[in-house]
């Protein structure tokens, strides 16, 4: 960790990549967290960057690695580049944040964890949706025990995008497709609430005409007699529940997405009054002594800024890492097991799943 003399100045940050993730999520958040100073962005489109930020634009990643004043590297580049850039950043003595998914394979993730330990650097995965309003609320409900033993956990990210887009996330390249993109979020949230599963069955498909990467998944994680069902599709025009969770003592249902992504797309200031407010409440139904009670549950405000505030404190104060790389590795192992299951068209014991897989 940093010595106290270095905490008196802001941590200088270099952001790698200014595509959707870098422009929409990372740059706005980094510029609104006290104690972090975004000074450099690595991008091939300097004009695009300078329209939004007064920073130094670098053409190549190695230009950022070579700067002694940079404390933190944030990687928001295509998934297949995460391992190479993160390993180079750590080896250069930088702390590193990697956008989800952590890496394309679990072998890469494990190697990065070892490298960060060797160099005593903070390495973290940007699993921003742990700070979604609905997930924060559901986590609180779990802690209160209102549902009893959770028997069925359903979590969905559905969209209506009938035409594939011309971007790397939808091309036939490693780490592309919604299983790696949206699946990283859904799997991470399930692991946070339920822990590692006993087994997994996954159905991955290319449903849209002209699709080159997975655009639909339906995964079932088995936990003894309980099930977690994770689903995403790009041809869903009607509204589906974001969460539908059922337990021995109650159930919770929530419709609608967290508002922060749309706020960021509109250029709104993170942390401003009303930030992260979700106007749609959740429904909690509980059963006790033969009586059923239904009530609307106000949603805890979402707060993506909390992730980078925690990163700042982990580097400067030795506070807990908000998303340790070991948790990123756990997600990748589930994604790999899902790919193997889909290929075999069979449920696979999670603990027996290979650490190696061809990425979709």
Question: Which pLDDT score, from 0 to 100, does residue 288 have?
Answer: 87
- Per residue in 181-193, pLDDT (tens digit) is 999 999 999 999 9
Q: Is the pLDDT of residue 155 over 60?
A: yes
Mean pLDDT of 162-186: 93
- Per residue in 224-266, pLDDT (tens digit) is 999 999 999 999 999 999 999 999 999 999 999 999 999 999 9
- Of residues 141 and 169, more confidently modeled: 141
Handedness of CA 220, 337, 359, 26 (dihedral sign): positive
Residue recorded with tokens 């992504």: 261
- Per residue in 98-154, pLDDT (tens digit) is 999 999 999 999 999 999 999 999 999 999 999 999 999 999 999 999 999 999 999
DSSP state of 24: I
Residues 6+ apart with CB under 8 A from 274: none
Residue recorded with tokens 């995460």: 82
pLDDT band at 359 (very low <50, low <70, confident <90, very high): very low
Question: Which pLDDT score, from 0 to 100, does residue 354 have?
Answer: 40
Beta bridge partners of 223: 226
Q: What are phi and psi of 317, to 5 degrees?
A: -120, -5
pLDDT band at 168 (very low <50, low <70, confident <90, very high): confident
Question: Which pLDDT score, from 0 to 100, does residue 290 have?
Answer: 84
CA 41 from chain centre, in angstroms, equals 21
| d(C-alpha 66, C-alpha 215), whole Å | 39
Question: Which pLDDT score, from 0 to 100, does residue 117 have?
Answer: 98
Q: What does the domain layout of the chain look like in residue ranges? A: 4-128+307-322, 131-303+334-352
**Class of the domain covering 4-128+307-322:** alpha beta
Judge whether 4-128+307-322 and 131-303+334-352 match in fold: no
SS3 167: coil
| d(C-alpha 287, C-alpha 104), whole Å | 43
Burial of 266 (0-12, 13-18, 19+ CB in 10 A): exposed
| d(C-alpha 168, C-alpha 175), whole Å | 9
Question: Which pLDDT score, from 0 to 100, does residue 166 have?
Answer: 87
Q: Is the pLDDT of residue 307 over 60?
A: yes
- Contact call for residues 188 and 307 (beta carbons, < 8 A): no
Beta bridge partners of 225: none
Please give the C-alpha separations between residue 324 and each of 9, 80, 155, 311, 318, in angstroms, as whole numbers: 25, 20, 23, 10, 13
Query: Does the domain made of 131-303+334-352 have the CATH classification 3.30.200.20?
Result: no
- Per residue in 191-210, pLDDT (tens digit) is 999 999 999 999 999 999 99
Phi-psi region of 187 (alpha: psi -120 to 50; beta: other; left: phi over 0): alpha
Mean pLDDT of 168-190: 94
- Per residue in 7-35, pLDDT (tens digit) is 478 999 999 999 999 999 999 999 999 99
Largest CA distance in the chain: 67
- Of residues 172 and 98, more confidently modeled: 98
Please give the C-alpha separations between residue 20 and each of 28, 104, 157, in angstroms, as whole numbers: 12, 19, 18
Question: Which pLDDT score, from 0 to 100, does residue 112 have?
Answer: 98
SS3 180: helix
- Per residue in 49-96, pLDDT (tens digit) is 999 999 999 999 999 999 999 999 999 999 999 999 999 999 999 999
Mean pLDDT of 36-52: 96
Mean pLDDT of 281-306: 95
- Of residues 51 and 1, more confidently modeled: 51
Residues 6+ apart with CB under 8 A from 24: 261, 264, 265
């Amino acid at each position: 960790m940093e010595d106290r003399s270095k905490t008196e100045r802001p941590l200088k940050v270099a952001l790698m990549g200014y595509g959707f993730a870098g422009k929409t999520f990372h740059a706005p958040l980094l510029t609104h967290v006290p104690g972090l100073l975004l000074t450099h962005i690595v991008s091939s489109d300097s004009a695009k960057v300078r329209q939004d930020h007064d920073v130094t634009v670098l053409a190549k990643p190695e230009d950022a690695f070579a700067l002694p004043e940079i404390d933190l590297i944030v990687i928001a580049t295509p998934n297949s580049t995460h391992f190479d850039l993160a390993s180079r950043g750590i080896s250069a003595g930088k702390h590193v944040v990697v956008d989800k998914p952590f890496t394309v394979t679990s072998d890469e993730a494990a190697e990065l964890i070892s490298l960060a330990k060797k160099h005593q650097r903070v390495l973290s995965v940007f699993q921003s949706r742990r700070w979604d309003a609905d997930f924060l609320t559901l986590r609180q409900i779990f802690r209160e025990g209102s549902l009893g033993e959770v028997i069925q956990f359903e979590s969905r990210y559905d969209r209506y995008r009938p035409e594939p887009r011309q971007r790397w996330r939808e091309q036939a390249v490693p780490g592309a497709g919604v299983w790696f993109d949206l699946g990283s979020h859904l799997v991470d949230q399930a692991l946070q609430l339920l822990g590692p599963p006993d087994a997994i069955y996954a159905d991955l498909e290319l449903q849209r005409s002209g699709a080159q990467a997975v655009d639909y998944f339906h995964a079932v994680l088995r936990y003894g007699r309980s099930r977690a069902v994770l689903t995403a599709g790009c041809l869903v025009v009607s509204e589906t529940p974001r969460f539908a969770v059922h337990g021995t003592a109650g159930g919770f249902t929530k419709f609608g997405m967290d508002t922060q992504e749309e706020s960021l797309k509109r250029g709104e200031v993170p942390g401003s009054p009303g930030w992260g407010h979700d106007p749609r409440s959740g429904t909690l139904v509980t059963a006790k002594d033969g009586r059923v009670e239904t009530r609307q549950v106000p949603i805890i405000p979402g707060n993506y800024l909390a992730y980078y505030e925690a990163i700042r404190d982990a580097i400067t104060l030795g506070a807990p890492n908000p998303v340790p790389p070991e948790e990123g590795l756990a997600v990748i192992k589930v994604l790999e097991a899902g790919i193997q299951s889909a290929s075999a068209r069979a449920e696979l014991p999670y603990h027996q799943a290979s650490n190696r897989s061809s990425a979709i």
